[in-house]
Amino acid sequence: MNLTISITHKLVGCGLLVGILGTSAFAASPASFEDFRFPREASLTKDGYPTPLSGQPITKTPVIAKKKGITLKKYPALLDKVFINHLHLDHCGGIFPLFDAMGWGRNTPLRVWGPSGTTPELGTAAFTENVRKAAEWHVQSKRHVLPTGGTTITTTEIDSSKFSPENPRQLVYNENDVKIYAFPVVHCIEGSLGYRLEWKGLSFVYTADSEPSTFEAEQAKGADIFIHEVLPSPEDFAVHSKLPLELAKNVINEHTVPEELGLVFSIAKPGIGVGSHYILGDTNIDNAFKKLRTTYDGPVMLAHDLSVINVTPEQIVIRQAKTSMLAPVPNPPKLKGIDMNPGKPSDSKTPAWLSKTRIVK
């Protein structure tokens, strides 16, 4: 009985995936030669936290024992479900590489959940419809050579207008003992959601971008893992982003700074509180933890690319995946009833005069 949270910005932005759960862990820092080596050697900050992209999770509590006599387990993954928190592109723009799965991995429709907007064009259905439209050349040009079962998107919109103090969450997914609830968070305009996943007594909450609120903290109460965004102070953000301070203040006002994150965690009291979306650099980690520690003293980590959290009834284990960028694609699972035959060719052809010049071995 395991729940694996893998954190990546590379593949799916901030989509939340059942089996593998993706979130935005910004790992930007001023470009230097060091930044292009991945992973770097493990090294520690002045206060003893591992530095980003060093192959270590950024926390001093990588293992939280809930019981004695523990055994770690392995986790299979097939990515076909995406739960979008909100439609900022840093949280959903990575959908294209996930959608592009013709013939390998996923040969079934991509299933997407996400918020409705206050108007149809602000909703997730409009977003996915436009994603599919934007992929028309991609699909037509490949469909005669590869299976087409993965070239559709099915979308479930979560009606944002139905939330209220009396109806704080909606059950949006209930399969294979997994229940996922959506609840609204404060971020920019209507249509930002948090999700709470419950599975066999284990729980995971992910709020993506949100201003701190007691409402979201209540929804996250007692979760094994609570991933919440965190950004630096407007002053630090202005330095990093090169924005004028006034504009940096506008941005940070719609997000959460470390002291505020601590206040949210102190209400929710998760097994592990995870800060994500932070602008990580070797020099600002200590400052982030220092500020967080003024308002919260429970287990906490800053997530970044390839952070992995394993949860069992006995323990929570935080690790940092080490991966090869050149690793081969893993074998897809054997699923029954999947049509692996290619579809019919597109009417659009390469001009004959150009095709004739193809070199034939």
For Zn ion, give the closer residue by CB, 18 or 193.
193
Q: Return the residues of window 86-145 that contact Zn ion according to CB under 5 A.
A: 88, 90
Residue environment code for 155-172, b if the CB has 16+ CB neighbours within 10 A, otherwise e:
bebbebeebeeeeebbeb
Stretch that binds Zn ion, among 37-45, 63-71, 153-161, 204-212 (CB under 5 A): 204-212
* Shortest Å, Cβ 76 to Zn ion: 29
* Shortest Å, Cβ 89 to Zn ion: 9
Residue written as token pair 């229940």: 179
- The size of the interface with Zn ion (CB under 5 A), counted in residues, is 3
Q: Return the residues of window 41-60 that contact Zn ion according to CB under 5 A.
A: none
Residue environment code for 325-347, b if the CB has 16+ CB neighbours within 10 A, otherwise e:
eeeeeeeeeeeeeeeeeebeeee
* Shortest Å, Cβ 113 to Zn ion: 17
DSSP class per residue in 197-214: EEETTEEEEE--S-B--H
For Zn ion, give the closer residue by CB, 178 or 251.
251
Omega of the bond prior to 39 within 30 degrees of 0, cis?
A: yes
For Zn ion, give the closer residue by CB, 211 or 224.
211
28 interacts with Zn ion by CB under 5 A = no
Stretch that binds Zn ion, among 34-42, 59-67, 207-215, 231-239 (CB under 5 A): 207-215
For Zn ion, give the closer residue by CB, 288 or 316.
288
Tell me the sheet residues that pair with 173: 180
* Shortest Å, Cβ 66 to Zn ion: 31
Stretch that binds Zn ion, among 76-84, 206-214, 278-286, 306-314 (CB under 5 A): 206-214
Stretch that binds Zn ion, among 203-211, 216-224, 259-267, 341-349 (CB under 5 A): 203-211
**What separation in angstroms does the CA of 48 have from each of 45, 60, 187, 260, 286?**
5, 8, 33, 23, 9
Q: Which residues contact 282 (CB under 8 A, 6 or more apart)?
A: 29, 45, 51, 52
Q: Which residue of 80, 157, 209, 260 would you call a contact of Zn ion, by CB under 5 A?
A: 209
Tell me the sheet residues that pair with 300: 273
* Shortest Å, Cβ 255 to Zn ion: 8
Residue written as token pair 């003893």: 48
For Zn ion, give the closer residue by CB, 196 or 228.
228
Query: Are the C-beta atoms of residues 80 and 91 closer than 8 Å to each other?
Result: no
Query: Are the C-beta atoms of residues 295 and 259 closer than 8 Å to each other?
Result: yes
DSSP class per residue in 326-339: TPPPPPPP--TT--
Q: How, if at all, do strands 202-206 and 193-199 pair?
A: antiparallel
* Shortest Å, Cβ 279 to Zn ion: 11
Stretch that binds Zn ion, among 125-133, 205-213, 259-267, 317-325 (CB under 5 A): 205-213
* Shortest Å, Cβ 245 to Zn ion: 20
For Zn ion, give the closer residue by CB, 70 or 186.
186
Query: Are the C-beta atoms of residues 301 and 275 closer than 8 Å to each other?
Result: yes
* Shortest Å, Cβ 36 to Zn ion: 24
For Zn ion, give the closer residue by CB, 146 or 231.
231
Query: Are the C-beta atoms of residues 91 and 185 closer than 8 Å to each other?
Result: no
* Shortest Å, Cβ 162 to Zn ion: 22
For Zn ion, give the closer residue by CB, 88 or 132.
88
* Shortest Å, Cβ 188 to Zn ion: 6
For Zn ion, give the closer residue by CB, 264 or 317.
264
Q: Extract the tokens encoding 238.
A: 């202005």
For Zn ion, give the closer residue by CB, 88 or 240.
88
Q: Return the residues of window 70-89 that contact Zn ion according to CB under 5 A.
A: 88
Strand residues in the chain grouped as ranges (E): 3-7, 58-59, 63-65, 81-83, 110-115, 153-158, 170-175, 178-184, 193-199, 202-206, 225-229, 272-276, 300-302, 307-311, 315-320
Which residues make up the interface to Zn ion (CB under 5 A)? Answer: 88, 90, 209
